[in-house]
Amino acid sequence: MQTRCEFLALSAGLLALLPGCIANEPEGEVDPVVEDPGTQTQPVQMRVTIPASYLAFTGNTADEAAQDYADYSDGDIGTSVLGNGSLEIYVTDHWYGQLRAMWEDELDRSLDALGTSDSVASVEVTDGRDGATVTARPSFADQADSDLYRLVAACGYLQLLDPESDWQGDWAVEVVLVDAETGVEVARATLPGEELSYSRESWDEAVSAEV
């Protein structure tokens, strides 16, 4: 049976950076809380929060993510670890654009990788990046596909980063698995709150119950 834990284990080395979610944009510049304020070389225009739920989903901590952002930006992105396990980063329009483009690319790569699998007939992602439907053959249940995990991580990032979203401190991506031959739904879960669990046995049982 494939679960998010297996996706996480397979993908531990695939995601070098973690996504953030736009909080309310401050009226003026924000002075980031960093160990060395001198490293903030650009005027800060946006405060971005990476929620603890996203960090937990990707198997990382706020401290690890802070180091990733510092390495990625050569110190231009300021960070502050919050008491609830979340992380705030402080970015200019330039770095916001860089992060958004990076995760758009990650989403495209995961879609392409899933689409080329012999087990997958099609993959659809909602415009709001809050849902994904994978239409696949039963053989999909025989593999722990890290590309599906990467797809969820990218959708979650872009969903939360969208300034037009209704994000209120949490994020969710609903994943639906559909049998390609019959159109029967074989699994559904809203991540990260639920586990996406499926096996060849549960797949066959779901199809048999509907046909």
Q: Per DSSP, which regions of the chain are E strands?
A: 21-22, 46-50, 78-81, 87-91, 120-125, 131-136, 173-179, 185-191
Reported as a pLDDT band with limits 50, 70 and 90, residue 21 is very low
Do 47 and 16 share a structural domain?
yes
Question: How far apart, in whole angstroms, are the C-alpha atoms of residue 83 and residue 138?
Answer: 44
Do 108 and 201 share a structural domain?
yes
Q: Which of 31, 64, 92 is the last residue of a domain?
A: 92
Do 158 and 134 share a structural domain?
yes
Is 178 in contact with 136 (CB distance < 8 Å)? yes
Interhelix angle for 93-115 vs 146-161, to 10°?
A: 150
Q: Which of 147, 120, 149, 154 is nearest to 134 (CA)?
A: 120
Q: Which of 72, 92, 112 is the last residue of a domain?
A: 92
Reported as a pLDDT band with limits 50, 70 and 90, residue 170 is confident
Does 27 have pLDDT greater than 80? no
The per-residue pLDDT for 165 is 63
Does 164 have pLDDT greater than 90? no
Region for 15 from its dihedrals, namely left if φ exceeds 0, alpha if ψ lies in -120 to 50, beta otherwise = beta
The mean per-residue pLDDT over the stretch 107-111 comes to 96
Name the DSSP letter for residue 25. P
Range of the domain at 152: 99-210
Does 154 have pLDDT greater than 90? yes
The per-residue pLDDT for 140 is 96
The per-residue pLDDT for 161 is 78
